[in-house]
Structure 1
Amino acid sequence: MASQVTPNTFLTHCAGPSSSSFETGATVTTIFFISGNPGLISYYHSFLSLLADQLKVSEGSKLGSSFQIYGCSLRGFELPEDEIQTSNDQNHKPNPKIYGLEDQIHFVHGKLHTLVTENSKTTLSQTRSADTTATVPPRQKVILIGHSVGAYIAMEILRRHRETSGSKSAEFDIIGGVMLFPTVMDIADSPSGRKLTTLLSFIPQLALIVGFFVRLLNFLLPNPALRSLIRFMMNSPPDHALDATFAFLKSPTGVQQALHMAADEMRTITTDKWTDDVWGAASTRPPITKLVFYFGRNDHWVAEKTRDEIIALRGQIEGKGPIMLVCEEGLPHAFCLKHNDVMARKVGGMIRDIVAGDEAR
Structure 2
Amino acid sequence: MESRITKNVFCTYTGDESKADTTIFFISGNPGLISYYHPFLSLLAKHLAADQGEGAKNESTFPESGSETSFRIYGCSLGGFEVAEQSQNDPPSEQSFSSSSFNANGPQGKNESDESGPRLYDLEEQICFVQGKLNKLMRTISSGKKQKVILIGHSVGTYMAMEILRRHRENTTEPQSDGADNSPDFDIIGGIMLFPTVMDISASPSGQKLTALLSIIPQFALVVSFFARLLTFVLPDSILKSAIRTVMKNPPPHALETTFTFLKSPGGVRQALHMAADEMYTITTDKWSDDIWGVSSTRDPVARLFFYFGRNDHWVAEKTRDEIIALKGCTSKDGLGPKMFVCEEGLPHAFCLKHNEIMTRKVTGMIGEIVSS
Give the structure-2-normalised TM-score: 0.84
Q: State the Cα deviation string for residues 109-151 of structure 1 (Å, max 9, x = none).
A: 00000011111xx21xxxxxxxxxxxxx422100000000000
The equivalent position to 1:263 in structure 2, one of 277, 281, 284, is: 277
Q: 1:153 aligns to what SS in structure 2?
A: helix
Q: Which whole-Å deviations, capped at 9, do the CAs of 1:9-62 have from their partners, x for residues lacking one?
A: 0000113xxxxx443xx4510000000000000000000000000100014435
Secondary structure at the residue paired with 2:190? strand
Residue aligning to 2:111:
none
Secondary structure of residue in 2 paired with 1:96: coil
> Contact 1:161–1:170 (CA<8 Å) still a contact in 2?
no
1:100 paired with 2:122, answer: yes
Residue 245 (structure 2) pairs with residue 241 (structure 1): no
In the alignment, structure 1 residue 81 sits paired with structure 2 residue 103:
no
How much identity, in percent, do the aligned residues show?
66
Work out the CA distance in 1 between the residues paired with 2:159 and 2:205: 18
Find the counterpart in structure 2 of residue 85 from structure 1.
none
Any idea what SS the aligned residue of 1:146 has? Answer: strand
Aligned ranges 1:65-76 → 2 under 5 Å: 65-76=69-80
Tell me, yes or no, if structure 1 residue 39 matches structure 2 residue 55: no
Give SS of 1:174's match.
strand
Question: How far apart in 2 are the matches of 1:228 and 1:109?
Answer: 37
Q: 1:36 to 1:173 in 2, by over 3 A?
A: same
Structure 1 length-normalised TM: 0.87
2:14 alignment partner AA: C
Q: How many matched pairs?
A: 325
Contact 1:28/1:141, CA 8 A, preserved across alignment: yes
CA contact (8 A) 1:30 1:143 kept: yes
Unaligned runs of 5+ residues in structure 1 are 16-20, 83-92, 124-136
1:99 maps to amino acid = Y
Corresponding residue number in structure 2 for 1:87: none
SS in 1 for 2:191: strand
Query: In the alignment, residue 226 of structure 2 is paired with which amino acid?
Result: F
Cα distance in 2 between the residues matched to 1:253 and 1:214: 10
In the alignment, which residue of structure 2 is the partner of 1:178? 192
> Is structure 2 residue 355 aligned with structure 1 residue 347?
no
Separation in 2 of the partners of 1:254 and 1:22?
33
Q: Corresponding residue for 1:138? A: 145
Q: How far 1:164 sits from its partner (Å)?
A: 1.1
Corresponding residue for residue 134 of structure 2: 112
Q: Which amino acid aligns with 1:43?
A: Y
State whether residues 10 and 73 of structure 2, in contact with CA within 8 Å, keep that contact through their aligned partners in structure 1.
yes
Q: CA deviation at 1:94?
A: 9.6
Residue of structure 2 in register with 1:153 after alignment: 160
Contact 2:156 2:196 in 1 (8 A): yes
CA–CA distance in 2 between the matches of 1:288 and 1:272? 17
CA–CA distance in 2 between the matches of 1:248 and 1:94? 18
Gap change, CA 1:284 and 1:170, over 3 Å in 2: farther
Paired AA for residue 111 in structure 1: K
Look up the SS of the partner of 1:164 in the other structure: helix
Structure 2 match to 1:90: none
Classify the secondary structure of the residue corresponding to 2:284.
coil
Which residue does the alignment assign to 2:5?
5
Cα pair distance change 1:271/1:66, threshold 3 Å? same
Distance 1:306 1:282 in 2: 21
Superposed CA RMSD: 1.6
User: Aligned match of 2:233 in 212, 219, 236?
Assistant: 219
SS in 1 for 2:140: helix
Matched with 2:354 is 338
Q: Kindly provide the amino acid, as one letter, of the partner of residue 148 in structure 1.
A: S
Following TM superposition, the consecutive aligned residue runs of length 4 or more in structure 1 with deviations greater than 6 angstroms are none
1:288 shift after superposition: 3.8
Q: Counterparts of 2:302 and 2:222 in 1: how far apart (Å)? A: 43
